[in-house]
Amino acid sequence: MPDADLVLRSRRVVTPEGERPAAVAIAGGRIAAVLPYGTAPPPGARAEDHGDHALLPGLVDTHVHVNDPGRTAWEGFATATRAAAAGGVTTLVDMPLNSLPPTTTARALAVKQAVARPRAHVDVGFWGGAVPGNAADLEPLYAAGVFGFKCFLSPSGVEEFPPLAGAELERAATETARLGALLLVHAEDPGVLDGAPPPPGRDYAGFLASRPRTAENRAVERVVALAARHGTRVHVLHLSSADALPALAAARRAGLPVTAETCPHFLTLTAEEIPDGATEFKCCPPIREAGNRDLLWAGLADGTVDCVVSDHSPATADLKTGDFATAWGGISSLQLGLPAVWTEARRRGHGLADVARWMAAGPARLAGLPAKGAVEPGRDADFAVLDPDAAFTVDPAALQHRNPVTAYAGRRLYGVVTATYLRGRRVYRHGVHTEPRGRLLGRTDDRHERRQQA
């Protein structure tokens, strides 16, 4: 065994090659080696054996709305990163809205970084925002370390982050292509949404009709065309319409730089089970029918969908009340994504290696985080320890995010996160967190890491 200061053992270590009994040697916060289970630790190294609990790579969640600063009553870096650690997420990338100011300038990014730095329990990176009038700000933001840029094709729900259309969208696409940056797109077509019936109130079927699949399908076609026209690397956020999968698959076959994600709520919840008035289930795009969910799973299995991330979009409890016309749209699931996806994945015959590929390796690759996302030598020693056969019933009072409103309340899930490690240091165990130990990540940091590794 190479020199190591910590050795973690499990009979179910989840590596890129699959599950196997192994001993993971850790030195200086990095994985030094993955060795046979019975390998003796070197003198002076601490050893921990997790038995039949699975040792997964720490999850990477590239779609989290922390809302800090400005709307910290909705969430905040302290609470969001505690929830992440409790859910086995060791790296999150924060969305440029709904904080005030939004992350649309380098100055706004610096404000957000200053707020996050002392509060982060896990590693944190940032997306920038592409909005009308800020094309000249994209290069300074990229130089300051954001991993790419998010835009909306339809209204975002907050006035300080308006959608892109026409020449503004084309300009953002050409500028991100010039920078080699990723453009993340909330893909719902505003014309289709304007022509759909308005949400009627408490009726979920009516809300679903107000956000039809056609809005997503047409928007995805526009995103693919944008990539073809400008060579822009584009990523479709929170895909809920399985009807858009053929367009994404065709783009992939054509060699276009187009990727897509979906979310735990689209893979585990269905429209048929949502009661009228249950606004905790409201999100945009919406949770659709069971048959649509089955097709999303097929798209995930065949690689058309690249990753699964939370789109953790919390709000204060009062904003989630009322009816489907007025309630805030967003599902809070940062702490529950792993058990939610694992519960449905195991039922469908998938293994933990699949879950690690979708929720750790895929998002790490998307954001360009070469030190994250896998249990293999050279990576950060980030781990989620999971008891995969333990079941629990979701109690909102046990959740770490600031406002314990969740669509998963009362739901029975499999997979209990018993411990979380960040660069070889345990940051969570059986409900107890350490002091904040997360770092702020940036694109320029990762390029430096690549040079150091080379």
SS3 for 372?
A: coil
Residue 453 has pLDDT above 70, yes or no: no
Residue 192 has pLDDT above 70, yes or no: yes
**Which pLDDT value is given to residue 448?**
34
- Rounded mean pLDDT, 341-348: 98
Note the pLDDT tens digit of each residue in 99-131. Answer: 999 999 999 999 999 999 999 999 999 999 999
Residue 450 has pLDDT above 60, yes or no: no
Single-letter code of the amino acid located at 361: A
* Secondary structure of 35-75 as H, E, C letters: ECCCCCCCCCCEEEECCCCEEEECEEEEEECCCCCCCCCCC
> 388, 352 in Cβ contact below 8 A?
yes
SS3 for 213?
A: helix
Distance, in Å, from the CA atom of 283 to the CA atom of 277, rounded to the nearest integer, reads 13
Name which residue leads in pLDDT, 452 or 394. Answer: 394
Residues 6+ apart with CB under 8 A from 314: 65, 67, 74, 75, 330, 332, 401, 402, 403, 405
- Rounded mean pLDDT, 12-29: 97
**Which pLDDT value is given to residue 199?**
87
Distance, in Å, from the CA atom of 259 to the CA atom of 246, rounded to the nearest integer, reads 13
181 — pLDDT class (breaks 50, 70, 90): very high
Distance, in Å, from the CA atom of 158 to the CA atom of 155, rounded to the nearest integer, reads 8
Note the pLDDT tens digit of each residue in 228-240. Answer: 999 999 999 999 9
Residues 6+ apart with CB under 8 A from 374: 15, 16, 57, 356, 360, 361, 364
Distance, in Å, from the CA atom of 76 to the CA atom of 94, rounded to the nearest integer, reads 11
**Geometric angle at alpha carbon 114, from 108 and 120, rounded to 5°:** 120
**Which pLDDT value is given to residue 344?**
98
447 — pLDDT class (breaks 50, 70, 90): very low
Residue 454 has pLDDT above 90, yes or no: no
> 235, 252 in Cβ contact below 8 A?
no
**Which pLDDT value is given to residue 445?**
46
Distance, in Å, from the CA atom of 29 to the CA atom of 90, rounded to the nearest integer, reads 13
Residue 204 has pLDDT above 70, yes or no: yes
- Rounded mean pLDDT, 367-395: 98
Distance, in Å, from the CA atom of 392 to the CA atom of 354, rounded to the nearest integer, reads 22
Helix extents (H) in 231-367: 245-253, 264-268, 290-301, 337-347, 352-356, 362-367
How do beta strands 59-64 and 89-94 pair?
parallel
**Which pLDDT value is given to residue 449?**
38
Residue 220 has pLDDT above 90, yes or no: yes
Note the pLDDT tens digit of each residue in 49-106. Answer: 999 999 999 999 999 999 999 999 999 999 999 999 999 999 999 999 999 999 999 9
pTM, rounded to two decimals: 0.96
**Which pLDDT value is given to residue 3?**
87
The distance of Cα 339 from the centroid of its chain, to the nearest Å, equals 14
274 — pLDDT class (breaks 50, 70, 90): very high
- Rounded mean pLDDT, 396-411: 95
Calculate Rg over the CA atoms of the chain: 21
Rounded (10°) CA dihedral 237, 215, 337, 427: 30
**Which pLDDT value is given to residue 444?**
64
SS3 for 25?
A: strand
> 397, 388 in Cβ contact below 8 A?
no
> 232, 257 in Cβ contact below 8 A?
yes
> 193, 170 in Cβ contact below 8 A?
no
Whole-number percent of the chain with pLDDT over 70? 97
446 — pLDDT class (breaks 50, 70, 90): very low
Residue 370 has pLDDT above 50, yes or no: yes
Note the pLDDT tens digit of each residue in 251-263. Answer: 999 999 999 999 9
